[in-house]
């Protein structure tokens, strides 16, 4: 299958394919192409937009499986109630979720009926542990990472026994499951449900190596 758009430079380039992913992915699989990561924003079925119909979930998983290796992470944006539907569709591979916290909530017209929506979920699926490069944040207040009350807790009940825990003082912090990014709609509103480019870059850097 020929890409719709090609732009190749040393260590930096891309091929773009225009079409329904459920049609395109099987063609790529036939050519022996596998993905280092799958990052997708499928329709949630939570708006009145004519295109916002829930994707054929079994068909999606068949297409994704065809281009995936056991260690290929599959990250899918979602929002309840679609989150529950999507997660339960592949519990064997579901591992955890990120939460994208928005700087500006939506749903003002329903604010008297329900909480305004200020986050979306990003479910993470895989068979075998994928690459993971935690992007630390710096400049935090110095503190002892393992405090006295934590030493007294029997953490082995959850994480098994470890004898190599060490106290250290650091201004760095590992990422938490909640990621706060502002939308790009103030810059350019290309799509009603577009995701921040900075957030997508963060996720790609977390789960892939440069050049993948």
The answer to whether 37 touches 126, Cβ cutoff 8 Å, is no
- If asked whether residues 166 and 113 sit together in one domain, one would say no
What is the SS3 assignment for 39?
strand
The model's pTM: 0.83
- If asked whether residues 65 and 147 sit together in one domain, one would say no
- Ranking 18-22, 99-103, 116-120, 187-191 by mean pLDDT, the lowest is 187-191
Over the chain, what is the mean pLDDT?
85
Residue predicted with more confidence, 169 or 95:
95
- If asked whether residues 190 and 119 sit together in one domain, one would say yes
> Given this model, what pLDDT does residue 128 score?
97
The domain tally of the chain equals 2
Q: Distances from the Cα of 84 to the Cαs of 56, 59, 194, 200, in angstroms?
A: 15, 18, 21, 22
| Stretch 136-147: mean pLDDT | 69
- If asked whether residues 43 and 109 sit together in one domain, one would say yes
* Residue 27 lies inside a defined structural domain of this protein: no
pLDDT band at 37 (very low <50, low <70, confident <90, very high): very high
Look at residue 166 and tell me whether its pLDDT is greater than 80: no
- If asked whether residues 170 and 199 sit together in one domain, one would say no
- If asked whether residues 106 and 201 sit together in one domain, one would say yes
How many other CB atoms are there within 10 angstroms of residue 210's CB atom?
A: 9
- If asked whether residues 150 and 45 sit together in one domain, one would say no
Look at residue 38 and tell me whether its pLDDT is greater than 90: yes
Pair of tokens at residue 183: 């939308």
* Residue 212 lies inside a defined structural domain of this protein: no
Which residue shows structure tokens 């490069």?
Answer: 133
Q: Count the residues in the chain.
A: 212
State which residues form the domain around 57.
36-134+175-207
- If asked whether residues 128 and 87 sit together in one domain, one would say yes
């Amino acid at each position: 299958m020929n890409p719709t758009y090609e732009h190749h430079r040393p260590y930096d380039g891309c091929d773009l394919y225009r079409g329904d992913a459920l049609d395109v992915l099987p063609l790529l699989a036939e050519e022996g192409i596998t993905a280092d990561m799958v990052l997708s924003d499928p329709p949630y079925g939570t708006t009145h937009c004519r295109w916002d119909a829930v994707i054929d979930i079994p068909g999606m998983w068949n297409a994704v499986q065809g281009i995936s290796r056991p260690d290929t992470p599959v990250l899918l944006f979602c929002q309840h109630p679609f989150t529950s539907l999507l997660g339960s569709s592949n519990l064997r591979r579901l591992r955890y979720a990120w939460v994208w916290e928005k700087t500006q909530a939506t749903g003002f017209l329903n604010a008297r009926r329900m909480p305004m929506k200020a986050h979306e979920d990003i479910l993470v699926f895989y068979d075998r542990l994928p690459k993971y490069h935690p992007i630390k944040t710096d400049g935090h207040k110095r503190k002892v990472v393992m405090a006295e009350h934590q030493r007294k807790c029997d953490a082995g009940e959850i994480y098994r026994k470890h004898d190599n825990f060490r106290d250290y003082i650091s201004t760095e912090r590992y990422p938490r499951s909640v990621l706060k990014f502002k939308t790009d709609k103030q810059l350019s509103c290309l799509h009603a449900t577009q995701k921040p480019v900075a957030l997508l870059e963060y996720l790609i850097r977390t789960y892939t190596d440069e050049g993948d």
